[in-house]
């Protein structure tokens, strides 16, 4: 009897347990999950985005655009999608966020608008609650996005002040000058003289030189603008050389004695030496005055930096007129880096050609090791050369306590005197 009661009780327990399991598996429902605003969130599914993008958790049924949601790991991409559907609603939704999420979301909306509707960005950027740095970044992007730079110039005059306006104007004028320098110059005509005008003028020239280097330089050369033409050349030079080196070369050859273009000449010689060293050496040797000096020194300096032995070989095997002009400068530049190698190279020339080379060589050597310089001088075979070198050595040694500027000027005078003496000797021969 007792066994039977126990069996019935056990059966009832089993039935109750089975019922509980059935309820949990098939009947139970989870409580709705709400976000911080008390809105019920729908079940979510995880989807794989395109290659090189992050996983994104998206709702099955999108919430209204004016309702914020829990942020996914691909916030920027999510707001890009929203912005493509409705810029204004996406921006308002982004403004409801905070911290970095807010910045990223607004940036995503603006990134879409910059492509499709720059005017939307212009109307919202100053009121979007961004930091000064963030506003500066968006305006830079907007300057590049305007369909018409003229429209951008019109907008900035009405909406920007201070550095933001100045920087934006410079970028837009440069853009405008690459397609319509006349329009850019017309805008300049509305500005008052001063630092902002000068900066704008430079940017117009930088844009114009990308379109037509020859006309841009001709305009700058004949206009008494500030900054002056030498300063403009130093600014425009690299772009001009990169764009059209042949016209730079032609311009230089028309101004052989103009010290104002020495910097431009040096820049061109440096660039040409990298691809055509032999012809560049020959070209620089034919230039006279301060322009020639700048070109020759720049060319040799570039060649020595690349391969001093190759540079020395090119000069050593050049025609006598080229060698006479360039060898002293080669000795000066090389001995500043490796005085022993330079001395060995100088020793291989005829005694008469060595005279203008020993001056700059000794000048560098005596500042490093006066005794070694004297020993080298004493070992020279030609009496005339040795006598001249000893005079140089004595003059230089007496100046060792002088200033570096004074030393440099004296060394240059020594080289100039030696070159004149050598030129006179060649004519007599």
pLDDT tens digit string along 119-144?
Answer: 999 999 999 999 999 999 999 999 99
Res 113 pLDDT > 50 = yes
Q: Give the confidence band of 409 by pLDDT, cuts at 50, 70, 90.
A: low
- The DSSP line for 127-181 is GS---HHHHHHHHHHHHHH-S-HHHHHHHHHHH--HHHHHHHHHHHHHHHHTT-H
CA distances from 105 to 35, 44, 117, 126, 270 (A): 19, 21, 17, 16, 48
Instruction: Quote the pLDDT of residue 406.
Output: 55
Confidence band (pLDDT; 50, 70, 90) for 320? very high
Q: Which residue has the higher pLDDT, 413 or 16?
A: 413
DSSP state of 50: S
90 within 8 A of 111, measured Cβ to Cβ: no
Contacts of 104 (CB under 8 A, 6+ apart): 75, 76, 79
- Average confidence score pLDDT of the chain: 80
Summarize the confidence of residues 168-197 as an average pLDDT: 94
Its pTM stands at: 0.65
Backbone angles phi, psi at 406, to 5 degrees: -65, -40
Average pLDDT over residues 98-116: 94
Tell me what the mean pLDDT of segment 406-413 comes to: 56
Q: Where are the alpha helices (DSSP H) in 276-350?
A: 277-285, 289-306, 308-316, 320-337, 339-347
Condensed to tens digits (0 to 9), the pLDDT of residues 357-380 reads 988 888 888 888 888 888 888 888
* Residue-wise pLDDT tens digits, 229-239: 888 888 899 98
The torsion of the CA quartet 408, 410, 413, 414, rounded to 10 degrees, works out to -100
């Amino acid at each position: 009897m007792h066994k039977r009661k126990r069996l019935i009780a056990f059966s009832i327990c089993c039935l109750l347990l089975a019922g509980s399991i059935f309820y949990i598996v098939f009947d139970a429902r989870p409580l709705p999950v709400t976000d911080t605003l008390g809105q019920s969130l729908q079940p979510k599914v995880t989807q794989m985005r395109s290659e090189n993008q992050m996983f994104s958790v998206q709702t099955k049924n999108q919430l209204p655009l004016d309702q914020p949601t829990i942020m996914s790991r691909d916030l920027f991409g999510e707001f890009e999608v929203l912005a493509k559907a409705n810029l204004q609603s996406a921006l308002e939704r982004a403004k409801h966020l905070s911290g970095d999420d807010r910045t990223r979301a607004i940036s995503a909306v603006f990134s879409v608008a910059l492509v499709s509707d720059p005017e939307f960005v212009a109307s919202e950027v100053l009121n979007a609650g961004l930091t000064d740095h963030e506003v500066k970044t968006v305006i830079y992007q907007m300057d590049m996005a305007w369909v018409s730079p003229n429209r951008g110039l019109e907008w900035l005059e009405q909406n920007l002040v201070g550095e933001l306006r100045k920087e934006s104007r410079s970028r837009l004028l440069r853009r405008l000058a690459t397609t319509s320098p006349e329009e850019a110059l017309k805008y300049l005509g509305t500005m008052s003289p001063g630092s902002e005008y000068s900066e704008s003028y430079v940017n117009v020239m930088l844009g114009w030189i990308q379109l037509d280097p020859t006309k841009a330089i001709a305009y700058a050369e004949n206009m008494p603008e500030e900054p002056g033409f030498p300063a403009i050349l130093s600014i425009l030079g690299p772009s001009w050389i990169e764009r059209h080196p042949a016209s730079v070369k032609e311009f230089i050859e028309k101004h052989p004695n103009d010290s104002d273009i020495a910097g431009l000449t040096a820049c061109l010689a440096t660039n040409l030496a990298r691809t055509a060293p032999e012809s560049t050496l020959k070209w620089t040797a034919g230039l006279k005055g301060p322009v020639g000096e700048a070109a020759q020194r720049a060319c040799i300096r570039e060649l020595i930096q690349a391969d001093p032995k190759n540079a020395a070989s090119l000069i050593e095997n050049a025609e006598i007129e080229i060698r006479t002009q360039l060898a002293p400068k080669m000795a000066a530049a090389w001995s500043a880096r490796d005085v022993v190698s330079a001395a060995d190279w100088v020793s291989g020339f005829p005694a008469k050609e060595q005279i203008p080379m020993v001056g700059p060589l000794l000048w560098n050597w005596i500042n490093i090791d006066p005794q070694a310089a004297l020993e080298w001088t004493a070992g020279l075979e030609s009496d005339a050369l040795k006598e001249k070198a000893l005079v140089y050595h004595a003059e230089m040694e007496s100046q060792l306590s002088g200033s570096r500027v004074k030393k440099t000027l004296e060394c240059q005078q020594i080289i100039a005197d030696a070159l004149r003496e050598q030129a006179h000797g060649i004519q007599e021969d």
